[in-house]
Each structure stands twice: as C-alpha cells, then as structure tokens.
Chain A
Amino acid sequence: MPRIRLRRRAATLPVGALLLFLVGTNVQAGWLFVLSSLLLGATVAGVVLPPLMVRRVRVIRRAPAEAFVGERVGVDLVVENPARRPRLSVAVRDPHVAPAAAFVPWLGAGDTVTASTIRLAARRGVVEGGPVVVASSAPFGVAEARSSVPAGGGRTVIFPRVVPVAALPLLEPGVRGGEDAVPSHARGEGYDFLGVREYRRGDSLRRVHWPSTARHGSLVVREFEQDRPARLVALVDTWADAGRTDGHAETALDLCCAAAASIALAALGAGHGVALAAGRRGEVAPPAEMERRDALAFLAELEAPGGVSLAVALEAVGGAIQGPAALLLAFASWRPNSARALLPAVGRLTARGVRVAAAVVDPASLRPEAAVLSARELRELVSELATEGVDVYPIRPEEDLAACLAGEPSVVAG
C-alpha cells in the first residue's frame, strides 16, 4: 500500500475552497459554491489518484558490480508498466551508490522506459541492490504516493580510492630489513641474475636479454633476485570511524582504506606480495596474500567498529609476519592508539627487521564516533614512532591523499 505525503497544494486548495464558500455564503452566489466544490474535488482526486499512478510499476536496476570511490557510475533504471492503464509523472528515487532520481513523465500501458543516471561513488563499501522508491503526485500535485519497489540489480562493490604512490620508502629497492632479514628468491630488480622471462609492459629496455629475444622472436628480459621485503602486510584499524556532516564524503576509515589500497596496489604493481588484515567482528584473521581485486574488495568491505583495537591487532598480526616484510599501519588517532599502546609491538617488529610505515589519519576535523588523541598526544605518537624507525604519513581529511602519501614521512604539522 503506497504511503501518502501531502503537498502544499493539499492545504492551499481546501483553504481556497473555504474562502470561496465563505464569500459565496455571504453574497449567496451559487457559482462560488460550484467553484469551491471544484477545488475540493481537485483536492480529493489529487489525494486518491496518486496511489493508482504507482500501482504495479516495476523497476529493474542495472548497476555495475564494481567501481572506485570518486568514479561516476552509470546506473540504469528500467521502469515498466505492465498494467492496462498509463501512469503519469512517475519518479523513481534510488539510493544505490548515491541518491539519484529519475522522472518519467508518462508510462503507457505495457511500456518500458530506461532512465540512465550518473552517480558519484563518494564512499567505499558494499551497496546491496535494495529497493527503490516509486513516487507520483500526478495528476494535480496535491499529494505524493510513494511505494517501495524491489529493484534487484545485485550488489555494487565500491573500492577505496586509489591514488598514485611514488617513491614510497617502504617500497623502495635496496632497503633491507634488520640483521636477521633473510633474502628470498623472489622476482624483482636485485643484483643477482635469476633467469629470463617474457617482456612485460613497464620493463626497462635495458633489461632486454637480446640473445633470448633473438631466439624467441619476441622480447625477453632478464630477472634479478629480489632484495627488498618480499611481502607487504597492511593492517587497517577498524576501531571506530568519523564521518562528515553531509554523510556523503569519505570517513576516517575510508581514508585509512584508501591509503592502504594505494600503497598495496603500488606494491602489487611492483611485484610484491600483499597481505591484508583488519579487526572484523572482534577478531583478527592472519594476514593472507591477496591479488588486486581481492585486496580492494577486502578494503571495501571493512566496517567500523571492528571490535579490536589496533594494539591488539598489531600483536596478532605481528606474530604472523615471517621473513622479510614491510608492515603498513593505517589507522586514525583514536585514543587507544596512543604511543604507549602501540610502541611496544612496533618496537618488537622493527627489532625483527620489519620495515614499518604508518598512515595516521587525524579525525579531529570530522565527527568522530570515539575519543581521539589530542594534538599533543598525536604529535607525541608520531614523534615516538619516527624515533622507532617508522615512516609516518599524517593524513588530514581536508588535504589531498596523494600529496599526504607523497610527503616526507615523520613530519607532523602543528
């Protein structure tokens, strides 16, 4: 049964009718009663007819399965009228990915109209294919009937924003871990020859192995022993979140995920293995290596609160890091993430030769759901992490993420 919402005309028409009735009574003019009755009739018809205009209207949503934050997503709404009577002024309101509306002036009996909408994917996440609202205020705009209609269309995964990351020390070649770091025979650009392989886009022409190229008839390049950390583990803090007042911009957790995604994809692009971990439903699963799409989907699905503080997650993940590895901590400066809470675990990892970087989001300018560190405490955290050898990238929501990740690490403003 459609819900009815009265519009302003539902008040103005009866008020006009009442005025005409009073004047008609005063001057005993019968035509004014006719006019008054017509206004009342329009009011009644304007309330009764809109539910008929949304009855049996079907909507099928066609939305992409995946998109990135910041992309403009094309979503089609296929509006069908299987009934035998036309429908007028049908509005379809769809919150999928981002609120959007389509207006169909008229929908004939048996007709199908496809409305194409473009929506900005403002936040990462998984958007299930929920219902749409079909509304109509036809024919007179007196009242609007709204009906919630299942639209299907499957779910859309909005991946975190990925910004270009260049010259991140964590991923730079030649950076070795601690003394107990053991090089692995992984593909990379080390100094010991490992073998040859087919040319891939982006390979330097200096690495072309011309004899093999001549034999194969296609470009073949030399591969060298990898001497960087073989694996990047990214740990995202899901303790809490902080959003903006409009609710449509990235939150603190979104920024953590965007930073983690940017660095992880850069690492994957460079041939590193990437494992991701985060607190989810009170647990932290051991970091598992993921491909590009799985990593993005993992980050898209993270929600706060995850039920595990970063310090606890760090203890769990730290124990699972084996061999040469780099660890990226992406977290916001929640109160449980104080220097005193994090430094012991970080210290143990750096002592084991694990290269640690931290993308620290300051949620103070947002609407935090939990207590945050004060500016002094944040500076203290950054300072002590830097002292511990951690590359710290302060991220402020109002600044460009790429610029934040491209800046000098361990620099804390004000």
Chain B
Amino acid sequence: MPGGRAVRRGRVRQGPEDSRVLRVLVLAITLLSVGAVAAVGAVDLPTAAASFLLVPAGSWLAYRRRGKANTGLKAVIALGLVAALGAFVARVQQAQSVDEARHTLGSLFVWVQVLHAFDLPRRRDLAFSVLAGVALVAEAGSLSLDATFGLFLLPFAVLCGLWLYLSDRARGRDEGGAGRLVRSRHAGRRVRRIAAPARTVAGALAAVAVAGAAAFLATPRFPGTLVIAPPFSLVSRVAVPGFSGGVVNPDVPSSGSGSVEAVRGVGYPGFGSEVDLRVRGVLSDRLVMRVRSPEAAFWRGQAYDTFDGTTWTAPGSEIVKVGKQFGEYGQAVLVPITDPPGLGTRTLVQTFYVERRQPNIVFAAFQPREVYFPADFLAVDGFGSVRSPIILEPETVYSVVSEVPVTTPGLLRSSEGVPWPEEIVSRYTQLPAGLPARVVELAHRIADQEPTVYDKVMAVQRWLRENTRYRLDIPPDPPGADAVDHFLFERREGYCEHIASAMAVLLRAVGIPTRFAVGFDAGDRNLLTGYFEVRESDAHSWVEVFHPGVGWVEYDPTHEVPIADPGAGSRFIAPEVFAAIGRWLSGVIPDPVKAAVGALGSAWPWAAVATVIAAGMWLLRRRGGRRARRPPPVGAEAAFEAMCRTFERRGSPRPASRTPSEHLDALLASDPLAREASADLERIVRTFERERFSPRPPAEEEVEAALAAAAGLPSRPSTR
C-alpha cells in the first residue's frame, strides 16, 4: 500500500510517522512541559536534568527505529514504568499531605514522558506525548503560585497550536494521497511561501487567544468542594520562645507605652498585644502571602475588645491550646467555636502560602473551624483568633476551613427583638473613661432614629462615609487627645484604624456590642493564577458587630464592603478582569483625556456608543473597499500587468483603449528596451491573449515562461 498504510474498516491505519517536523515539535512540547513542572518545584533537579538528556535521546532513537517492532525496547520501557510506579507509591505513602502527593505525581508523569519518548513510532504515539505534556503543564499550573508560569504556558500553547495544525495537515496529506501536486504557480515572491501560511497560522492562534479570553471571562468560578485536599507544609521551624498563646511580631520593635512612633518599612504594628491609634507610618507593597480561596474575605488575625481612647487591647481574653485531632480532611486542629453559630454559614476552604515572614498569627476568614497546620498544637483566644507556636516563615503553607456567616439585610433586621446575651453586652460595649460627651451625642443623633441594629450600623457607616475622608499621611494627634473624638470632630481624616475605631465607639455608645478586628484585606486576585496576592499595605482593620441569633458580623466602614451573600455575580471573574483593566487604563490614560471624559459627565456612555459605531462603520467601509478592489492578477495576466508596469515606469503607460497587441506595437516602435526584448514581449502578450480569449488556454509551461520573461524585464541593461 502506498506510504505503508493499510485500510481497515474504513479508517486509515497509520504507518510509521516520518515527519521530522512533527517529531521535533513534540520533542519541544515535551521538554517545555518538563521544564514547567521543574520550574514550580514539582520534580527535583536530578530528575529534571535526566529528563532533558533522556527525552531527546529517546526521541532520536524512536525516530531511527520507527519502522521496527522494538519488542525488547518495549519490554524495557514497561519495566521502567513499573519501577516509576513503584517509586511513586513509595513516596505517596511517605507524603504528609495530599499536596505532597501531587508533587510525587508530577515525578511519575515526567518519567512516563521520558520512557514513552523511546517508543514513538506512529503519529498517535506522538499525540499521546502531546497529551501527556498537557497533563504535565496542568500539573505545573496547579502548583504555580505566580504569573511566571505564563512564560511556559505561552510557548507551550503556541507549540500545541502548531501541533494541531501540522498533525491535521499530515492527516490531510494521508487522505489526499491519490492527488499529486505537479505544478504550483505563485503570483508573488517566493518568500510568501513561508510567510503567508505563517501569518495565517499566527492569525488562527490569535483567534484562539480571543476566543480563549472570552471563555476565560465567561467561565464561572465555583468553590472547590468536590474533593478537598487542604495542603500544608513547613520549610523551617522557628519556635516562639516561651510560647504561651500570645502574639509575637518579629518585624515590629517593642514600644514603650504611650510613645508615638513612625513606622516605615516594617510589618504592620497592629499584630501584637495592642493597636495604638497614634502610630503613623506607611506600609510597603511587598507581597506577604498568597491565598487560594474561592472568594474574597478578610484574612482575620486578631480582635480587640477594650479601648482606652488611644489604644485597643484585649486584656481579658483567655487562651486555650488545642492539639491535633482527626478533622474532616485529615489531621487538623479543630478550633473551638467561641461564638454561637449563626442561622446560616457556608464553608470556605483557604490555603495560605506565606511569602514573607509573619507573626505567629494563623490568618483566616472568620470564623475558623479546622486548621491544617504543620505544628502539633495551636492556641486559640476568646475571639476565635488562632496563634501558632512557630513563626510563619516564607514558603510555609497552611489551610483553614472556615464557617463564614451568610447574612442578608433581611436576616439581620429579623434578628431584632432577640435578647442580647448579658456577657456579650457587658464586655463589648465598654467605652473609654474619658470619652467626650459629644461623641456619645453624635452616636445618638446618627442612630436613634433607626429602627433596627442593622439600620443603626448602616447609619453610622453612612455618616462616616459622608463626613470623613480616608488619608494615610495624617499628622500626629495632639497630646492627651482622644483619638476617636479628634478624628470625628477635628481632623475628620484618617485611615482604617481611625475609621473602624470611630465606628466601634459610636456603636458602643448606642449600646451595640462591637469589637475591633485586624488582619489583612483580601488583596488583589491574580487573574491568571487565581490566588489572592496579599501585600503589607493590605493590612487592615474593621469592626465586628454582634447580632442576636446571628453572631458576629463583619463591617468595613473604610471600604464599605457589603456583608451580604456575594451572589451569582462573584461566580465570574469578568468583573474583576474589567476592574483590573480599568485600573490599568486609569494609570496609562493621560490626565487631560480623563478630564475630557469627566467633562462629558453622564453623557459618556452615549459618547462611547457613538465611538464604537463610528469605528464599526469605518471598519465596514474599509472592508467594503477591500472587496471592491480587484483580486491580484494571476497567470499570464500577472505577466502582462508586470510588463505594463515596467514600461509605465519608463514613460510608456498603456492607455485603457489600447489592446495588448496595439500596446506591444506601440512599445516596439517607441522604446529601445521593447525592441531589445521583443521576443519576451511577444511571448507575454500572446500568452496573455490566449489565456484571455482563446478557447484553448496556454499550457502551464507557457505561462511560467511568460511570468519569467516579465520578471526579467526590469533587470535588462536597457532598463537602467
């Protein structure tokens, strides 16, 4: 059979794959995928190095022996696979978590690729290698924490696109075997033979990118609840000396009571035993941790219940140490629920990848239920905050399962009338002894008219939004001043700690139990990795308000974070993408342009629509113009037009009324070049006339000769 193919049941049975291009492409895909898993640390260096040596060697051997049975080689490969599987099983049994097993799986995949590279006789074997490469890249993608993975994914996607194209083309060649291309005539330069298909394939890849982007935006995001494998790991263990459950913040120097310091270039000073509202400073944008979570939340670190006018403390918070038990997904610290469960919660699984040294606080969405942490025990205070006996060093990984209250305004309003627990009221409505009366009066003025606790909270939040401004570089408070009073009545500018403290004090002033919480804002979600990237500047404070029958509910007066269920809108990443694009545009668009857009006021949507319509009409007109233009001439017509162009440049244009023969006669009479090349011109014109007018068109060879003659005209000596 031609090409060594045999037909069975109507399908083409493949013979050995002879295409070196396809084989080199698959080799590149394989090496790139191995490089990707090596880059994310899923395989150790010796394995990666061995792969980079063995895969090309195996591919070369597979090419050389593609037509042979290779029975012995297959047996050796099978033994190798068994050995790789055995090593995988052994390592899995030693793995501390499923996450570690994932790394082991990466090694197994790599060895499968390496061994398979030695036996690639047919195209479908090459396809398997590509498929295994996709699996490896997916493995690497699942382990990658940052955008550098894109450096692997982009070329990998391009190579896979080329594979799809070239393998399909090879299939087409197989099926079209009865046809033989004997002649090919190209109107343009030879370089187009490569450039034109390359441009078309590049255009197709661009189409993939556009369609892929649309799919990326339209793909819903769901919580990972099918199979949960909370990872945790520890790189180095730095124990907290004399750990008794307190917070140790190694980045913040201890300060004497009552002193006012400017904090610059160190960690957030609020993680510790107190939060002093007199401390000033600017936090850096350094990445402190990445959080894998299906949705944004406050990564809560601590809470405070006592305020003395300048400083929040938690003097009466009892601390208990909790050891590991068997949790829902394995050995975990089961955090005692300190607050009564609400009417409804949803489970939120978060994994924290520490990038910069942090205090011994186990940050988590409120309120944590199970902590998968690389320590034998943890300490939990009375506010549900968790501390570890070790400092959180970079590359520490831990996971937390939280029960996040699901609240709606209706639910919160309906809790009105439920009696408050006495101990909650007495503990969380404390006010500074010297609190000025005007603060209390302001609180009553804002909240007394509101019917429910929820409406009072909203009223205070609204008042803060309308009457205060967020600002980081504020001057120090006057000595002896109450920080909240000064913020509310004098400066009216401050940052999250002032705003949250003011809200807590105002609410407590009207008898609503409130506490002050610190931690990190959710951070910006990396649109590619899906991880929330938390920076030092995301350190934040907010308030927690107790609703009878519901529990503690977080309110953020600084950002006015909605408290209700995130709803279906958050299931899609498109809003975040558009917001990110908006932020980027806001950064790159010059201020005058932004001012002009601002001047349009409410009419800007209409202006945008008009711009889009105008652009569309311009594109349509351009496309119509292209269509109206004649397609490029081919064959003898191309030769004739080239001839006409040559003589037009020499001052002998062809009038529209002149026939080709008449034009030839006129050229012979007037132009010495025409006389010199009369035989060529005769050939061109006669071939063109036969192609255009004769029932028997010229042969391909004649057309080729005419094209060659036309191409040679400009290089004749008389032309110059």
Contact = CB atoms under 8 A, between A and B. Distances in A.
B530 A86 contact: no
Interface stretch (A114-122, A196-204, A281-289): A114-122
B141 A29 contact: yes
B215 A91 contact: no
A138 B212 contact: no
Contacts of B413: none
B178 A118 contact: yes
Given A108-B196, A111-B187, A27 B181 contact: no
Contacts of A218: none
B182 A140 contact: no
Interface stretch (B221-229, B233-241, B269-277, B534-542): B221-229
Interface string B196-210: 110111001001111
Given A30-B528, A116-B180, A37 B187 contact: no
Interface string A332-363: 00000000000000000000000000000000
Interface in B172-200: 172-173, 175-188, 192-193, 196-197, 199-200
Interface stretch (B159-167, B467-475, B580-588, B646-654): B159-167
A184 interface: no
A23 interface: yes
Interface string A95-112: 000001111111011111
A92 B178 CA distance: 11
A114 B700 contact: yes
Interface stretch (B89-97, B626-634, B712-720): B626-634
Contact of B293 (A28, A44, A116): A28
Contact of B634 (A25, A77, A80): A80
Contact of B138 (A20, A37, A42): A20
A21 interface: yes
Contact of A42 (B164, B172, B528): B164
B164 to A, nearest CB: 4
A48 B168 contact: no
B142 A29 contact: yes
A175 interface: no
B221 A108 contact: no
Nearest to B197: A106
A176 interface: no
Given A30-B529, A113-B184, A101 B219 contact: no
A320 interface: no
A41 B164 CA distance: 13
Nearest to B193: A108
Most buried by A among B214, B529, B530: B530
A140 B197 contact: no
Contacts of B168: 89, 137-141
Contacts of A106: 193, 196-197, 200
Contacts of A28: 224, 292-294, 351, 530
Contact of B137 (A35, A42, A46): A35
A141 B167 contact: yes
Contact of B161 (A36, A103, A140): A140
Nearest to B174: A103
Given A16-B134, A105-B169, A110 B632 contact: yes
Given A25-B224, A91-B175, A101-B176, A138 B165 contact: yes
A64 to B, nearest CB: 15
Contacts of B700: 114
Given A33-B216, A38-B212, A110-B631, A139 B180 contact: no
A115 B137 CA distance: 41
A91 B172 CA distance: 7
Most buried by A among B137, B144, B196, B215: B215
Given A109-B196, A110-B187, A116-B182, A34 B201 contact: no
Given A91-B175, A113-B184, A33 B631 contact: no
A9 interface: yes
Contacts of A85: 200
Nearest to A47: B211
A139 B193 contact: no
A367 B375 CA distance: 82
Given A30-B529, A42-B161, A44-B215, A83 B631 contact: yes
Contacts of A141: 164-165, 167-168, 171
A103 B193 contact: no
A49 interface: yes
A4 to B, nearest CB: 15
B213 interface: yes
A45 B206 CA distance: 9
A49 B207 contact: yes
B407 interface: no
A34 B154 CA distance: 11
Contact of A30 (B188, B207, B222, B526): B526
A32 interface: yes
Given A23-B142, A30-B528, A100-B179, A89 B169 contact: yes
A341 to B, nearest CB: 43
B185 A113 contact: yes
A30 B292 CA distance: 9
B613 interface: no
Nearest to A36: B219
Contacts of B180: 102, 115-117
Nearest to B98: A27
Contacts of A16: 134
A20 B204 CA distance: 23
Contacts of A140: 161, 164-165, 168, 204
A271 interface: no
Contacts of A193: none
B565 to A, nearest CB: 19
A215 interface: no
B80 to A, nearest CB: 27
A159 B180 CA distance: 26
Given A84-B632, A102-B181, A140-B161, A27 B219 contact: no
B192 A102 contact: no
B494 interface: no
Contacts of A48: 207, 211
Contact of B169 (A32, A102, A113, A138): A138
Contacts of A21: 219
Nearest to B216: A37
A110 B637 CA distance: 11
A55 B619 CA distance: 21
A25 to B, nearest CB: 5
B153 interface: yes
A190 B161 CA distance: 80
B187 A27 contact: no
A101 B181 contact: no
Given A45-B204, A85-B200, A115 B224 contact: no
A89 B200 CA distance: 11
B531 interface: yes
B309 interface: no
Contacts of B141: 29, 31-32, 34-35
Contact of B178 (A102, A108, A110): A102
A88 interface: yes
Contact of B181 (A42, A45, A113): A113
Interface string B130-148: 0000100110111110000
Nearest to B634: A110
B312 to A, nearest CB: 33
A203 to B, nearest CB: 38
19 contacts: A9-B164, A21-B219, A26-B226, A28-B292, A38-B208, A80-B634, A82-B631, A88-B201, A89-B165, A91-B176, A103-B176, A108-B188, A110-B188, A111-B634, A113-B185, A117-B179, A119-B178, A139-B204, A141-B168
Q: Which 4 A/B pairs are nearest by Cβ-Cβ distance?
A: A30-B530, A102-B179, A103-B176, A41-B212
Given A31-B529, A139-B204, 13 more contacts: A30-B527, A32-B142, A34-B153, A48-B207, A82-B631, A109-B196, A109-B631, A110-B187, A110-B188, A110-B631, A111-B184, A140-B168, A140-B204
